[in-house]
């Protein structure tokens, strides 16, 4: 059967740009992408929390706006945290959860990522759950079970939705993030197929057909076409290159 999943390209600005710089960047990026598109492609930007309200006016109706994290709690005495309801009220459409930089530097676990997915979905936001193995786990040949465990723990909660606009998965091998190393198109497609197989076995055929799986890890304008050509690769999560107008536009435009 033909793949019905709409392709999706997301940028992750990480902790870069001041709010006004971000607004100017979006103001140039949005028309550059839109001008080149010959058919609608879903795309969006995950930006720092401080940028959300400013960027909501720039992206509305044209691109998805996202945050890079959210709290596991709905509200209350959690100093420094930002709730899913606050993100929704700031114009967000989605948020990343379980990004490897949050796992590495902030001790985020797959179980917490699962709670965040639920919080986001309660607010009608799309959750983008990031999984991926470290270099050591890749080299030891252990990567399949690492990723299966991340899926098992992150997607175990009762009430979690697995529809096309509710959950997106991102396969981001940690050794490829910000390093200039990318998985080969074959390595990426192999893991994406494995994730889709896991969805089929554990969450049924609807989930396996609907959930989009993005590849992330040093995607740039030159390698995007090849990486996106894999049967099970539904799009990309782009870090560094999403801060460069021409490069990011070319990545979005490389969707066939």
**Residues catalogued as catalytic:** 99, 172
Say whether residue 239 binds ligand PEP (CB under 6 A): yes
Q: How far is the CB of 130 from ligand PEP (least distance, A)?
A: 7
Say whether residue 204 binds ligand PEP (CB under 6 A): no
CA count, 13 A, side-chain hemisphere, 16: 14
Angle between helices 143-154 and 110-122 (to 10 degrees): 40
Q: Candidates 52, 63, 214, 219: give the one binding ligand PEP (CB under 6 A).
A: 219
Torsion of CA 219, 186, 148, 170, to 10 degrees: 20
Say whether residue 216 binds ligand PEP (CB under 6 A): yes
Say whether residue 218 binds ligand PEP (CB under 6 A): yes
Say whether residue 173 binds ligand PEP (CB under 6 A): no
The CA distance from 191 to 211, in Å, is 15
Say whether residue 154 binds ligand PEP (CB under 6 A): no
Per CB under 6 A, contacts with ligand PEP among 10-29 are 12, 14
Give the nearer residue to ligand PEP in terms of CB position, either 7 or 239. 239
Q: In this structure, are residues 194 and 232 in contact, taking their beta carbons and an 8 Å threshold?
A: no
The CA distance from 46 to 59, in Å, is 11
Q: Which residue, judged by CB position, is nearest to ligand PEP in the bound state?
A: 239
Interacting span for ligand PEP (CB under 6 A) from 47-55, 135-143, 193-201, 214-222: 214-222
Show the CA angle centred on residue 46, arms to residues 253 and 231, nearest 5°: 45
The number of beta carbons lying within 10 Å of the beta carbon of residue 179 is 12
Q: How far is the CB of 101 from ligand PEP (least distance, A)?
A: 7
Q: Candidates 132, 217, 230, 235: give the one binding ligand PEP (CB under 6 A).
A: 217
Both tokens of 149, joined, read 């465990």
């Amino acid at each position: 059967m033909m793949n019905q999943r709409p392709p999706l390209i997301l940028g992750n600005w990480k902790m870069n740009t001041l709010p006004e710089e971000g607004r100017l960047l979006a103001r140039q990026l949005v028309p550059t992408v839109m001008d080149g598109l010959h058919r609608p492609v879903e795309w969006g930007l995950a930006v720092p929390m401080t940028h959300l309200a400013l960027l909501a006016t720039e992206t509305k109706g044209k691109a998805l706006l996202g945050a890079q994290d959210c709290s596991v709690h709905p509200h209350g005495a959690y100093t420094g945290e930002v709730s899913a309801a606050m993100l929704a009220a700031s114009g967000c459409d989605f948020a990343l959860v379980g990004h490897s930089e949050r796992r590495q530097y902030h001790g985020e676990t797959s179980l917490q990522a699962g709670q965040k997915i639920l919080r986001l979905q309660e607010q009608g936001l799309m959750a983008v759950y990031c999984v991926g193995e470290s270099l050591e786990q890749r080299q030891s040949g252990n990567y399949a079970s690492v990723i299966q465990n991340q899926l098992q723990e992150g997607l175990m909660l009762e009430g979690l939705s697995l529809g096309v606009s509710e959950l997106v998965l991102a396969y981001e091998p940690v050794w490829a993030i910000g390093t200039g190393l990318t998985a080969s198109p074959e390595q990426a497609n192999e893991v994406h197929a494995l994730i889709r197989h896991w969805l089929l076995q554990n969450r049924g055929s609807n989930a396996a057909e609907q959930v989009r799986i993005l590849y992330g890890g040093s995607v740039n304008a030159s390698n995007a076409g090849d990486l996106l050509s894999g049967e099970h690769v539904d799009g990309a999560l782009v870090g560094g290159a999403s801060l460069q107008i021409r490069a990011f536009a070319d990545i979005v435009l490389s969707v066939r």
